[in-house]
A and B are shown apart, each in its own frame.
Chain A
């Protein structure tokens, strides 16, 4: 694989993958907060 293809692949998949992964984690964390709300602890 030439450097040009490698660099572009890393750029697209790397940046896109990181953004998508952390975006998905943000959604999952939002859901977790709904599943385990703070008020449950005080009851």
Chain B
């Protein structure tokens, strides 16, 4: 009888007895993510499920990521097969208005320049000894686009998924802190004061153009980068549903219910990959550093490209809008508007910045699609 009680008590203490040194640290990290999400309102829709998932997976013996674990079931349901990021993309497409971009299509180029950091960071990661596909997964943090980063890393470097997704979402929320110093460093005060409200070359896009736009992007992008077609097609499908206006029930469902459910599953699955034994490594720290560098390089390249466009248009483009050429929507556009107003209180860059920002959304997806097709062409991926 006494032995039975002792055995029973030892069963109750097994969880504590099996704690690895990394588990309490990761539980603290999970709590920190919860704090940031709940108290500081930093990407709460993601950080709350990610933080909670991180806590769950670091409780020993629960085996939630084992073959029968419910977190493993959710992970296999949509992260291992890249379904969740694609479903989220349909919602993003349904929520995005490409009108400001279509008003001035030249701004598309800023969306391309805002992705250069991806490719520069791949080179840096390779220099620091990362494997080719690992370097690609790290570089894609620079897309500043969570679903794209998750799609690429879950497919080609699943062991880096946790670090890459945490870096991608953390830096996206830090855009208002990361970008302004770079923008100020790379521009003169005179450039920052350029008023774009007099830009006459912009004309509004018709409804027909807005409907044809997602179809053209899908066909064009799919033909040149077929490996990235799922990324392009899903965001464009969402946008086509929104602009056509004939499937409002589907549009609302993708904007709300589907995106919300998938965000929950995606967040908790990402958290579930943050097992301390695998996460607390020097490699994770390097990934976080490279992710930061990628976003700084994106911003710098965007602003420098904006400066080049400023020169080419005879000073009619404010280079600050180049910083919005990343995919962090709409934070990057708001940062540009705020910085512009600091130097010219009559300068409203918001619509131009939103155009560049939506260009960055298409740009990040296109860059990832092109990257995957180049990898396929080189025989790196099947």
State the A residues within 8 Å of B (CB): 1, 3-4, 6-11, 13-15, 17-19, 21-30, 32-33, 36-38, 40-41
C-alpha gap A36/B374 in the complex (Å): 34
* A28 shortest CB reach to chain B, Å: 6
* B135 shortest CB reach to chain A, Å: 8
C-alpha gap A4/B370 in the complex (Å): 19
A6/B205 in contact, CB under 8 A: no
12 contacts between A and B (CB under 8 A): A7-B126, A9-B378, A11-B119, A11-B120, A14-B367, A17-B224, A17-B370, A17-B374, A22-B362, A26-B105, A29-B105, A29-B209
* B111 shortest CB reach to chain A, Å: 6
Q: What are the residues of chain B within 8 A of A27 when measuring CB–CB?
A: 105
B363/A11 in contact, CB under 8 A: no
Given contacts A10-B371, A14-B371, A17-B374, contact A22 B366 (CB under 8 A): yes
State the B residues within 8 Å of A (CB): 102, 105-109, 111-113, 115-116, 118-120, 122-123, 126-127, 132, 135-136, 203-209, 212-213, 216-217, 220-221, 224-225, 359, 362-363, 366-367, 370-371, 374, 378, 380
A18/B213 in contact, CB under 8 A: no
A interface: dominant SS: helix
B119/A10 in contact, CB under 8 A: yes
Contacting residue for B123 out of A11, A19, A25, A37, CB 8 A: A11
Of the listed residues B111, B112, B126, B367, the one surrounded by the most CB atoms of chain A closer than 10 A to its CB is B112
B interface: dominant SS: helix
Given contacts A10-B374, A22-B112, A22-B363, contact A32 B213 (CB under 8 A): yes
Contacting residue for A9 out of B111, B221, B374, CB 8 A: B374
A32/B216 in contact, CB under 8 A: yes
* A36 shortest CB reach to chain B, Å: 4
* A23 shortest CB reach to chain B, Å: 6
Q: What are the residues of chain B within 8 A of A25 when measuring CB–CB?
A: 105, 108, 216-217, 220, 362, 366
B123/A7 in contact, CB under 8 A: yes
Question: Looking across the interface, which residue of chain A has its beta carbon closest to that of B325?
Answer: A22
Question: Looking across the interface, which residue of chain B has its beta carbon closest to that of A42?
Answer: B206
The 6 nearest A-B residue pairs measured at CB:
A36-B208, A29-B105, A26-B108, A22-B112, A26-B105, A7-B123
A19/B113 in contact, CB under 8 A: yes
Q: What are the residues of chain A within 8 A of B116 when measuring CB–CB?
A: 15, 18
Given contacts A3-B132, A6-B126, A33-B102, contact A24 B220 (CB under 8 A): yes
Of the listed residues B120, B207, B208, the one surrounded by the most CB atoms of chain A closer than 10 A to its CB is B208
Given contacts A18-B370, A22-B112, A33-B102, contact A28 B224 (CB under 8 A): no
Contacting residue for A33 out of B107, B108, B209, B374, CB 8 A: B209
Q: What are the residues of chain A within 8 A of B118 when measuring CB–CB?
A: 14
